[in-house]
């Protein structure tokens, strides 16, 4: 794929993401205020309009015809919306959401991408754009407005003017004089100052004032702010603010008299005679960009201070930092050696000091790169919010989404990988968890269900919770399903505990609904969710209370790139264990060993700890028995106690070599099928240590958690 094309995809992606954010806000505004558009809402619509317009433009450039077609239709619909011809109601929002959703799919050019029924979508959009609403009554006549000005308003401007008048917002005219050279920036400045207080309906150049270097603008504003506030904000040396007064009721709303009413005398504030605006339009030669800035300019500006970077480039930088760390330790070793030579001692100290400085800068660099890789979870939460809305509507369920901790940051790679599992959990929660409004009412629960998405940092981990206040899971039914699917035996089922029962849902082949619904049944089950999470070095837990709700808790490392590890030795070889899975390391006392059903266990503080001799597992046993220590005893060995979720296992190792920050590198494709290793790390000095995949090893040695518990109970 060419760079330019990739650039296009990235930009389109960005636009689509911001579109869905804006649509969600719009959805919220619609729920709160109904179809009437206030200033914020209409700005939102404009924002969406601009986004769609830009997307249409770039889609055309890159030959995405269907994407262009859909965005063109949506643009029409949005135009009608902002003109007030189409009312903003949930059904329109549905179409908008669906349209934006389809952008995403149309962008993915792969053959296995779900088909987008463009025709159906276009028809859906056309339903709204086909007919406009009736012409509004002419309530503008009550204002002393220049009909010549009115006649050059665009349809949109006129609509905004009418809306403001209907809502009883006061109208003002601001006469300003700008220098031709700086008009662009002055106009921008004026817009910025006006934005919090007033809506600019239009601005027209007046032909009367202005010499060769300046130009007079007539700005029509709508504002609910008091005159003084407005004046203070907007009026400087070359400006004048006038209130457009309401015509007194006695006067005839006849067009001719209205024209006369523009005369200064009729106004409470002395109005300088407005220059007769030329009809139809002011000469286009006027160096004034009268309309809004073009959409392209706006989008260009908004991203100017950020850079998009390919994650692979960051990976490369991280590798370079890793190399530098090796250089650092090499220099360290040299300075150690120099120290041993008395005549070079001074030099050694100096070198050591320089190396320390190097080390600190290197750490900063490393932190910096890690920081760049961090992105807020909000990135996927936005996407998920869209899905919540969609799934809830499809299922006729009333669901409120509460999000906390959207600014919690995790490694970009983790965010990418999280999106599918979270999406699945959310679909499940709405589909199986939250009851329909009727059922909820009967159960004396609030009609609208709540889905909470919480994220927070906990030490070196990030915790994400997906919690619903739905029906909860029935352990009895889960066990029955597991039995039916022959995932457990009758005997085991009889003794299963509540918690064990809940955990059965993570078993491959388990699905609580016999019919696969179009929502949750996307061919993946909770077992896939669990696998995806553990691939990220995370764990997933479930708690559920019948009738009250279900909560999934995902615990993940903040970053995949660098972890702290315990270095161990087995059969003369070095390995690393991520410290996050290590509970403690204790001395191995062979005399305390017990065997339970062929498995070695020991007792640790009153609880049984299964053991695994890694040298046997990895076939690294020394050919000869280990040499005895000086006092005639075999050398000490250790037990490293590892835990993942609620399961514990002790690994018997030959030695502990301390802790170290390591960068985990994945093993090549050729070793992908080798189980038990999360990757390898370069320890410097050409030494590579394999990193144990503790969750996988525990799974392998103890079986799946559900079954272990069940086996043990047999």
Partner 1 sequence: MSDVVKRDTVIPAAASQAPVLEREALTAREFLAFVIAEETYALPLHAIREILKPPPITPVPRAPGDVLGVVAVRGTITTVIDLRRRLRVAESPPDKHTRILLVAAEDEVLGVLVDQVLSVHRLLDDEIELSGVVGGDLSDYVLGVGRPRRSRRDREGERDTESETEEILVLLDPEPLLD
Query: What does residue 44 show for φ and ψ, rounded to 5 degrees?
Result: -60, -45
CB of 684 to partner 1, least distance (A): 9
Nearest-5° Cα angle at 144, 141 to 150: 65
Is residue 595 at the binding interface for partner 1, with CB under 8 A as the rule? Answer: no
Contact criterion met (CB below 8 Å) for 166 and 218: no
By CB under 8 A, which span of 39-47, 216-224, 580-588, 673-681 interacts with partner 1?
A: 673-681
Is residue 652 at the binding interface for partner 1, with CB under 8 A as the rule? Answer: no
Is residue 313 at the binding interface for partner 1, with CB under 8 A as the rule? Answer: no
For partner 1, the closer CB: 358 or 618: 618
Q: How many residues bind partner 1 (CB under 8 A)?
A: 28
By CB under 8 A, which span of 344-352, 417-425, 502-510, 667-675 interacts with partner 1?
A: 667-675
Contact pick of 167, 276, 671, 713 for partner 1 (by CB under 8 A):
671
DSSP 444: T
Dist. CA 273–CA 37, nearest whole Å: 34
Strand arrangement of the beta sheet that strand 573-578 belongs to: 655-663, 562-570, 573-578, 687-692, 677-684
Contact criterion met (CB below 8 Å) for 183 and 205: no
For partner 1, the closer CB: 405 or 578: 578
CB of 311 to partner 1, least distance (A): 16
Is residue 256 at the binding interface for partner 1, with CB under 8 A as the rule? Answer: no
CB of 323 to partner 1, least distance (A): 6
Q: Hey, which residues between 87 and 126 contact partner 1 (CB under 8 A)?
A: none
Helix (H, G, I), strand (E, B) or coil at 682: strand
CB of 694 to partner 1, least distance (A): 15
Contact criterion met (CB below 8 Å) for 595 and 601: yes
Is residue 312 at the binding interface for partner 1, with CB under 8 A as the rule? Answer: no
Contact criterion met (CB below 8 Å) for 379 and 419: no
CB of 670 to partner 1, least distance (A): 5
Dist. CA 48–CA 15, nearest whole Å: 9
CB of 690 to partner 1, least distance (A): 6
DSSP 534: H
Contact pick of 690, 694, 697, 698 for partner 1 (by CB under 8 A):
690
Q: Hey, which residues between 315 and 374 contact partner 1 (CB under 8 A)?
A: 319-320, 322-323
Is residue 674 at the binding interface for partner 1, with CB under 8 A as the rule? Answer: yes
Dist. CA 272–CA 560, nearest whole Å: 69
For partner 1, the closer CB: 35 or 676: 676
DSSP string, 268-304: SSPPPPPP---SS---TTSS---SPPPHHHHHHHHTT
* Count of positions (residues) in the chain: 714
Dist. CA 658–CA 314, nearest whole Å: 29
Buried b or exposed e, range 569-578, using 16+ CB within 10 angstroms: bbbeebbbbb
Nearest-5° Cα angle at 433, 427 to 434: 95
Across the strands, what pairs with 67? none
- Over the window 609 to 628, marking each residue x when it contacts partner 1 by CB under 8 A and - when it does not, the resulting string is --------xxxx--------
By CB under 8 A, which span of 335-343, 435-443, 654-662, 672-680 interacts with partner 1?
A: 672-680
Contact pick of 2, 249, 265, 686 for partner 1 (by CB under 8 A):
686
Q: Hey, which residues between 525 and 584 contact partner 1 (CB under 8 A)?
A: 573
For partner 1, the closer CB: 61 or 320: 320
By CB atoms closer than 10 A (0-12, 13-18, 19+), residue 353 is exposed
CB of 523 to partner 1, least distance (A): 26
Is residue 667 at the binding interface for partner 1, with CB under 8 A as the rule? Answer: yes
* Interface residue list for partner 1 (CB under 8 A): 319-320, 322-323, 573, 617-620, 665-671, 674-677, 679-680, 682, 686-690
């Amino acid at each position: 794929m060419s760079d330019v094309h990739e650039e296009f995809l990235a930009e389109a992606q960005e636009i689509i993401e911001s579109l869905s954010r804006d649509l969600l806000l719009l959805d919220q505004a619609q729920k709160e205020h109904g179809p009437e558009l206030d200033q914020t809402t209409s700005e939102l619509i404009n924002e969406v309009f601009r986004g769609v317009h830009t997307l249409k433009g770039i889609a055309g450039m890159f030959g995405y015809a269907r994407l262009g077609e859909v965005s063109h239709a949506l643009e029409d619909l949005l135009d009608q919306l902002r003109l007030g011809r189409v009312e903003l109601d949930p059904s329109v929002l549905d179409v908008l959401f669906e349209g934006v959703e389809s952008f995403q799919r149309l962008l993915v050019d792969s053959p296995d991408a779900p088909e987008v029924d463009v025709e159906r979508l276009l028809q859906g959009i056309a339903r709204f754009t086909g007919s406009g609403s009736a012409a509004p009554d002419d309530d503008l006549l009550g204002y002393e407005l220049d009909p010549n000005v009115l006649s050059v308003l665009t349809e949109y401007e006129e609509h905004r003017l009418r809306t403001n008048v209907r809502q009883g917002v006061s109208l003002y005219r601001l006469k300003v004089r700008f220098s031709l050279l700086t008009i662009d920036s002055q106009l921008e400045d004026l817009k910025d100052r006006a934005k919090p207080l007033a809506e600019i309906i239009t601005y027209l150049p007046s032909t009367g004032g202005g010499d060769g270097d300046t130009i007079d603008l007539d700005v029509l504003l709508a504002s609910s702010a008091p005159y003084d506030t407005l004046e203070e904000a907007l009026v400087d040396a070359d400006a004048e603010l006038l209130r457009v007064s309401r015509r007194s009721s006695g006067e005839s709303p006849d067009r001719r008299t209205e024209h006369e009413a523009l005369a200064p005398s009729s106004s409470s504030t002395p109005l300088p005679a407005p220059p007769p605006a030329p009809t139809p339009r002011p000469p286009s030669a006027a160096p004034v960009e009268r309309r809004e800035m073009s959409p392209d300019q706006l989008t260009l500006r908004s991203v100017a201070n950020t850079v998009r970077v390919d994650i692979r480039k960051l990976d490369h930088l991280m590798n370079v930092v890793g190399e530098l760390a090796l250089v650092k330790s090499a220099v360290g070793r040299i300075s150690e050696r120099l120290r041993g030579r008395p005549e070079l001692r001074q030099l050694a100290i100096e070198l050591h000091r320089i190396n320390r400085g190097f080390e600190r800068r290197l750490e900063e660099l490393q932190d910096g790169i890690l920081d760049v890789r961090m992105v807020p979870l909000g990135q996927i939460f936005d996407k998920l919010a869209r899905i919540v809305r969609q799934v809830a509507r499809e299922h006729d369920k009333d669901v409120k989404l509460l999000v906390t901790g959207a600014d919690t940051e995790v490694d970009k790679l983790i965010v990418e990988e999280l999106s599918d599992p979270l999406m699945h959990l959310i679909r499940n929660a709405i589909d199986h968890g939250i009851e329909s409004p009727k059922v909820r009412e009967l159960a004396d629960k609030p009609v609208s269900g709540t889905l909470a998405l919480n994220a927070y940092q906990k030490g070196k981990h990030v915790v994400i919770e997906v919690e619903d206040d739905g029906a909860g899971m029935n352990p009895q039914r889960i066990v029955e399903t597991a039995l039916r699917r022959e995932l457990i035996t009758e005997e085991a089922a009889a003794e299963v505990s509540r918690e064990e029962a809940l955990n059965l849902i993570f078993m491959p082949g388990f699905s609580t609904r016999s019919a696969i619904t179009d929502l949750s049944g996307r061919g993946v089950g909770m077992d896939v969710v669990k696998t995806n999470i553990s691939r990220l070095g995370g764990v997933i837990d479930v708690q559920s209370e019948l009738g009250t709700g279900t909560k999934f808790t995902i615990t993940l490392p903040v970053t995949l790139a660098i972890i702290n590890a315990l270095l161990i030795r087995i059969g003369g070889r070095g390995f690393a264990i991520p410290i996050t899975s290590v509970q403690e390391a204790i001395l191995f006392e062979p005399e305390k060993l017990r065997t339970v059903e062929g498995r070695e266990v020991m007792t640790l503080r009153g609880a049984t700890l299964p053991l695994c001799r890694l040298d046997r597992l990895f076939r690294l046993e020394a050919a000869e028995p280990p040499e005895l220590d000086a006092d005639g005893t075999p050398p000490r060995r250790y037990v490293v106690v590892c835990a993942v979720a609620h399961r514990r296992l002790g690994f018997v190792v030959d030695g502990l070599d301390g802790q170290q920050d390591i960068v985990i590198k994945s093993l090549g494709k050729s070793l992908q099928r080798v189980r038990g290793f999360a990757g390898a790390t370069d320890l410097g000095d050409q030494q590579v240590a394999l990193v144990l995949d503790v969750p996988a090893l525990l799974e392998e040695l103890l079986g799946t958690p559900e079954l272990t518990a069940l086996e043990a109970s047999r």
